[in-house]
Structure 1
Amino acid sequence: MKVVGITGGIGSGKTTVAKQFEALGVPVYIADVEAKKLMNTSKIIRRKLIALFGEEAFFDNTLNRPFLADKIFNNASYLEKMNAIVHPKVASHFKNWVKKQKAPYVLKESAILFENGAYKFCDLVITVTAPLELRKERLLKRDDTTLEKIQAIIDNQWDDNKKIEKSQFVIVNKDLEQTQLQVQLTHNKIVNNIT
């Protein structure tokens, strides 16, 4: 079974695109969602995060996301250390998930597919792009955030050109209808390449 990575900068709409692939019958693994679940349920991750950030890492027995976001996006060292705790567990969880799928290929959606080296375990990679201003506009509508926080996240991710260089497919996500067409074409190419 082929593993296709899908990535893109924050606000590019990679989750929306991933869901369009899912509607075509492609099993989709959203790494960020699974990482959050594991951060809340794994005793090992919990213990290591508390050792790294202190008791405030959890509030009411749940991951204290605003606290952690504040810590990691102002300190690249904390981000690296947290990723070193969480990413191996997510990678292991993903491998087990893949074994249970019955499809020509699966999609692994990850914002930091390149940054964390996970792309090396993918057969193909799709990068989702959108104009920077549109991405910021989407994020301001979607999240309770500021332009400063958005920029801090963008600064911690590879820029689109660097991602595109290492990708086999690019989907430009500006208009939903056009995006849907690109998803269908990409899906057809992937399936034809496998069979």
Structure 2
Amino acid sequence: MTKIIGLTGGIGSGKTTVANEFSSLGIPVYIADLEARKLMQTDSVLNLIKAEFGSTVFDKGVLLREKLSEIVFNDSRKLEKLNGIVHPAVKKHFDEWLLDHKNNPFVIYETAILFESGSYKKCDFVINVEAPLEVRIQRVIERDNTTREKVLERIKNQWNDEEKSSKSDFIIKNTSIEAIKVEIVKILNFLRIKQINS
């Protein structure tokens, strides 16, 4: 039975870097946010978004992602509505993806909102990636060409590190790529021993 390893961390913590390291070691990685973005291009999801948010978030049939983001990140109820559309689609897609990787001893399921969405319940183990708050803010400002205020708003909508780490089996402190590699080796060794003994 394939074990699902949840990988999470606050915005700008370096989850993608950790996910890429796992991937480079031949472990299948499912990036939920990336897949959600693709699924938000499909007719079935777009129709549900239009029904919920109206045509103002569309321009000539194209979803205005920034406009939608602005709406949901400033209104937790609207964010819940959007998540209620996107999460079921991602869950279905992940279940299909998992079938394609059923011969792997474990896979990585990476998402920023692993706990917030309840997805952690389907994981056998959870890894939380931590990084200093100022480092995270700076990374996101540079990556998304955004403002400090907007980054802090998004951070406010996520669980904090203490909450995430208290529910996680492993914590990776993202201080350097070398530190990440060391932690990943430790985690993989633990998982392989667990697998042999199970």
TM-score by length of 1: 0.96
Shift of 1:58: 3.1
User: What per-residue deviation string (whole Å, max 9, x for no partner) do you get for residues 33-55 of structure 1?
Assistant: 000100102x2211110112121
What is the Cα-based RMSD across aligned positions, in Å?
Answer: 1.1
Question: Could you tell me the percent identity over the aligned residues?
Answer: 47
SS in structure 1 of the partner of residue 30 of structure 2? strand
Q: Which amino acid aligns with 1:97?
A: W
Which residue is equivalent to 2:167?
A: 166
Deviation per residue, 1:75-134 (Å, 9 max, x gap):
111100000011011001101100101311000000000001000000000000000011
Does residue 46 of structure 1 match 2:46?
A: yes
Report the counterpart of residue 15 of structure 2 in structure 1: 14
Q: Which amino acid aligns with 1:194?
A: Q
Q: Secondary structure at the match of 1:25?
A: coil
Residue 72 of structure 1 aligns with which residue? Answer: 72
In 2: Cα distance, 1:60 partner to 1:181 partner: 49
SS at structure 1 position matched to 2:5: strand
Output the CA distance in 2 between the equivalents of 1:81 and 1:88: 12
Aligned partners of 1:21 and 1:187 also within 8 Å: no
Report the counterpart of residue 33 of structure 1 in structure 2. 34
User: Which residue of 2 is the match for residue 59 of structure 1?
Assistant: 59
Q: Distance in 2 between matches of 1:106 and 1:64?
A: 32
The match for 1:90 is 90
The residue identity in structure 2 corresponding to 1:66 is E
Once residues 56 and 6 of structure 2 are traced to their aligned partners in structure 1, the CA distance between those partners, rounded to angstroms, is: 33
> Post-superposition shift, 1:61?
4.1
**What residue is the counterpart of 1:193 in the other structure?**
194
CA distance, structure 2, for counterparts of residue 158 and residue 194 of structure 1: 30
Partner of 2:154: 153
In structure 2, distance between residues paired with 1:63 and 1:171? 36
Write the distance in 2 (CA, Å) between the matches of 1:15 and 1:56.
Answer: 32
Residues of 1 paired with 2:69 and 2:145: CA distance? 13
Gaps of 5+ in 2: none
Separation (CA, whole Å) in 2 of partners of 1:11 and 1:106: 22
Amino acid at match of 1:155: K
Secondary structure at the aligned position of 2:41 is classed as helix
Task: Return the alpha-carbon distance in structure 1 between the equivalents of residues 117 and 83 of structure 2.
Answer: 8
What is the aligned residue count? 194
